[in-house]
Amino acid sequence: MISCATLATEPLIAGRWLKPGQHLDLVGAFNISTREADDEALRRAHIYIDTDAALVEGGDVAIGLSAASSTARR
């Protein structure tokens, strides 16, 4: 289990470091200018949010979804 509660503006956790089934708890990336995990970590994840605002306001989720969406359109 990895838990992050930081004010990081750049990812601290790389998806390539994570083992299948590993739990990653990201509570610090609460606005669009904060980020705790990279796009790879988000691509590999089952994402659970506590509020729909996380989809557009939370750094990890909103930025990760935006990156996934732009990759899918290529």
Report residue 18 as tokens. 């994570």
Tens of pLDDT, residue by residue over 26-41, are 888 888 899 999 999 9
The span from the CA of 14 to the CA of 54, in Å, is 20
- The dihedral sign for the CA sequence 62, 64, 65, 66: positive
- The dihedral sign for the CA sequence 40, 11, 56, 5: positive
Regarding pTM above 0.95, the answer is no
Q: In CATH, what number is assigned to the domain containing residue 37?
A: 3.40.50.720
Q: What pLDDT score does 44 carry?
A: 87
Q: Domains in the chain: how many in total?
A: 1
CB of 24 closer than 8 Å to CB of 16: no
Domain that holds residue 54: 2-73
